[in-house]
Structure 1
Amino acid sequence: MSDVSISMVATIAVTFFVAGIVKGVTGMGLPTVAMAVLGSLISPLAAATLLIVPSFVTNAWQLFAGPSFSSILRRLWPMMLAIIAGTVLGSSFMASGDTVLTTAALGYALALYSLYTLFARQLSVPMKIERWMSPFIGAATGLITGVTGVFTLPAVPYLQALGLLKDDLIQALGLSFTISTIALAAGIGAQGAFQLDRMTLSVLAVIPSLAGMWAGQIIRDRIGAVAFRRGFLVLLFLLGAEMAIRPLF
């Protein structure tokens, strides 16, 4: 870590604190915010390596805090297997070293996610098509995760469309994000691109992440979560759009 400046350490800490706040208020968004900010400053591969430990800790906490782990896993295991396969395959692009491609892809993913979340209507997936649709959604999510380090598309809107109860939805999101984190770490490792010198920082990033989640839960009780969420999505879109068009200049 000798090449990491004090200013970069401070930036990483602030980024994960803010990302934790977003997760504390909205129940999701820590990997998305972390990749959005850090991916604009360092390579997406380096940002994804920093993301591994805090993402795993916060999402595993979200997963096992829920009431229905076994039933959720029985229902969604085909999607989870497809996420693993897609992520391991997609991670070869992130590990290729083409930061222009991966940064632009990350920008498009962030912009698309923010626009969809802002304007799309709630979808509904009938039970009769869930069996074959879940692996497709999982594979698509895995490929996007492997290329960009963002776990949200299309998994989040799909899980929201399954009509799960609130606690089950939160647990299902925790399962998806936890599996995605493990698969991303495995995919990067399989490519021989794991930046082990960043893992100490990744472990330390757990502290501001959890502090941010605690602060976010307090904020959620004091301000409107809807207004906070909209402002966050607008900022996320602007950042993603800048990253997407950066290679053109």
Structure 2
Amino acid sequence: MDTIFSLIPPSLLVLSFGVSALAGLVKGMVGFALPMILISGLGSFLSPELALAGLILPALISNAVQALQHGFGAALASLKRFRVFLGAGLLCLLLSSQLVRVLPVPVLLAMIGGPVALFCIMQLAGWRPHLKNGQNRFAEVVIGSVAGFIGGMSGVWGPPMVAYLTAIDTEKREQIRVQGVAYGLGALSLTGAHTVSGVLNAQTVWFSAFLVVPSMLGMWLGMKVHDRIDQAAFRKITLWVLLVAALNLLRRAFLG
């Protein structure tokens, strides 16, 4: 605990616990948004690098649970089906992750808050992309690369993938599973990449490990109430919360 307190005061640690529990709750209900909530929430009162380090282990473990909830065989089938998307995304994630140490803080904040805010605004406005011919390899390369590039710098690669899966009318159970597989592979790559970049180190790894507990508790609760809520209404509320958090990051980027 002394190592954690050297990075963050107790009051902000408690606040981080609450943000992580909320992120896990939403993750359990809708299958995504844990990194977005963590990076947006933690980034509102912590440095971008510490916020990014904090989300790495909760993302890794929660996505492993989500990917394997229907068994290893189902996860492998989803991996094979979306291998082009995942390959492009992972390559760009590994490349862009090394930019975290060299980009100025305001630029990093803008690159995190901008994509999240744009995604929320489009979804709240009713935008639902649709590809008439279903799964498209070219679209997978392009969208996967964009998702990976953003994810390497911010830990957030979900919005482009959610948009693509929605556009090809992916069945609900498979969509949840594919997201878990994709985000799990991304989280594993992110862990390795930011061990190399220095974002995840002997000090920050303890903060990230601490956040696993509230994240998993929140996810467990979210999965319990998943079938008992109006998911569309809750998702809209979540988008509004994310939008406010993302706009706050943009405020910090441009106004200080």
The TM-score, its normalising length taken from structure 1, stands at: 0.91
Q: Distance in 1 between matches of 2:93 and 2:47?
A: 18
* Paired residue secondary structure (2:83): helix
The equivalent residue for 1:134 is: 140
| Residue in 2 that maps onto 1:112 | 118
CA displacement, residues 46-88 of structure 1 (integer Å, 9 cap, x when unaligned) = 1111111111111111101125222211111121111111111
Q: Deviations over 1:145-169 (max 9, x none)?
A: 1122212231111122222222111
The answer as to whether partners of 1:87 and 1:142 remain within 8 angstroms in 2 is yes
2:32 is aligned with 1:28? yes
RMSD (CA atoms): 2.0
TM-aligned CA deviation for residue 38 of structure 1: 0.6
Q: Which moved more, 1:88-97 or 1:71-80?
A: 88-97
The one-letter code sitting in structure 2 at the alignment partner of 1:54 is: P
SS of residue matched to 1:122: coil
Secondary structure of the residue that 1:207 maps to in structure 2? Answer: helix
* 8 A contact 1:44–1:94 mirrored in 2: no
CA contact (8 A) 2:106 2:254 kept: no
* Shift, 1:220, TM fit: 4.0
Within 5 Å, which residues of 2 pair with 1:40-119?
40-66=44-70, 68-96=74-102, 98-119=104-125
Answer yes or no: is 1:154 the counterpart of 2:197: no
- TM-fit CA distance, 1:224: 2.4
Cα separation, 1, equivalents of 2:117 and 2:127: 17
Structure 2, unaligned stretches of length 5 or more?
none
Identity, % of aligned pairs?
Answer: 27
Taking the TM superposition and a 5 Å limit, the aligned residue runs for 1:213-232 are 213-232=219-238
Instruction: Report the number of matched residues.
Output: 249
Change (3 A) 1:69 1:56: same
Amino acid at match of 1:107: G
Using a 3 Å threshold, how does the CA distance of structure 1 residues 163 and 247 change in structure 2: closer, same or farther? closer
- Tell me how far apart the structure 1 counterparts of residues 81 and 10 of structure 2 sit (CA, whole Å): 46
Match of 2:131 in 1: 125
Quote how far apart the aligned CAs of 1:229 are: 1.6
Q: State the Cα distance separating 1:221 from its structure 2 match.
A: 4.8
Residue 99 of structure 2 aligns to a residue whose secondary structure is helix
Q: Which stretch shows the higher mean deviation, 50-59 or 63-72?
A: 63-72
| Alignment correspondent of 2:170 | 164
User: Match for residue 202 of structure 1?
Assistant: 208
> 1:131 & 1:97 partners in 2: Cα distance?
32
Partner SS, residue 78 of structure 2: helix
